[in-house]
Amino acid sequence: MSTTEIVIADSLSDTLETGPGARWWPNPLKELKARRAVNDQLRALNPETDFHQIAKLVVGRVFADAFFNDALFTVAYWRQIAIRTIAPVLHQSGRGKTYETTKRVDDTLLFFGFLYRDGWQTRRAGATIDRLAAMHERFKIPPDDFRYTLSGLCFEPVRIPEILGCQVLNEREARALFLFWREVGRRWGVDVPEEQAAFRAWMEHYEDTVYERTPEGPQLATAMGDDFCKRFFPGPLKGLGYTVLRCCADDHLLDTVGQPRPSRVSRRIVGLLVRAFAAFRRWVPASSAPQLLRQWNREYGTALDPMIVGPDWAKKIAPEHRRQAKAGQCPFAAAKATLQGAESDSQSHTPGAPSP
């Protein structure tokens, strides 16, 4: 049985988010009780050992609101755009065309949902990670850029509230998020620092070093902002949507991607709203059942499968197409070394990487 067949077979039993029963609204009182029970589950978990379950509960149930997750993702994506070597790649689909923005957002958040659902150790998770790696092997970006993308997944849910002067995740949840994405990154083959503080320090130093406005940057940032506003702040509310996004970013980032700085008053108001939202979600989590996939599934129907998600040029890419690294070696360096070795047997392994 091929990897693709295994994944499809495994997905047949996973009807929690895609089965017909998921569409029915339960009794309101029972629903409220079930949502509140999520808090008890979180308190019983240990972030050092149960970090996958904590991350899945926090993202998929407590703060499962599409608006919240899309805003966070858009600002995190602006940070990718600010990296001088990443922006040109993001501007392309791999064949010289701009990747349609709404589909890019939906597909990316679906892949995040698959990883939160499946983790990094399962057969299904491994297939998803290998397919993602195979899809990205066409892009030639240094490994540090991919490591930077991973750092955003670890720390942006913490940094944005810090910019706004509030707190959304507690220390246990922030720790769990770091440990979860560290393990996903290592399963991919990315060298991630062992300690949380060291990785964040590396991230901030990297931003100070490589943020740079590129010709593609402002156009990409506007496309992402427009898509967010189209979903949640349509028509005359568009300006308000952009204000929310800009308040969630620091001035260095805004200057780099060509976005105007918000006023201090605006940032203060948005901070108060986010604080109130976080407090409400602590009292009543967003959902009693996982909401990791359904809200981003505009295209693929009920047979949602990570083996078919992605742009058209990636439809035929399967996990087994990934170039394999030697044991203990970063696959990004190994892939380039393999190509160089075809030209000269004397070439040694050198850094070079497909980008996220």
CA gap 261, 245 in Å, rounded = 10
Q: How far apart are the C-alpha atoms of 70 and 59, rounded to whole Å?
A: 12
pLDDT confidence bin for 112, thresholds 50/70/90 = very high
Higher pLDDT among residues 181 and 295, named by residue: 181
Token pair 């397919």 in the structure block, residue: 131
Encode pLDDT of 132-184 as tens digits.
Answer: 988 888 777 688 988 999 999 999 999 999 999 999 999 999 999 999 999 99
Q: Residue 19's CB: how many other CB atoms inside 10 A?
A: 10
Q: What is the pLDDT of residues 173-208, one digit of tens each?
A: 999 999 999 999 999 999 999 999 999 999 999 999
Section 79-88 average pLDDT: 91
How does pLDDT run across 228-287, given as a tens digit for each residue? Answer: 999 999 999 999 999 999 999 999 999 999 999 999 999 999 999 999 999 999 999 999
Contact (Cβ atoms closer than 8 angstroms) between residue 128 and residue 134: no
Q: Let me know if 23 is exposed, middle or buried by CB neighbors in 10 A (0-12, 13-18, 19+).
A: exposed
User: Whole-structure pTM over 0.95, yes or no?
Assistant: no
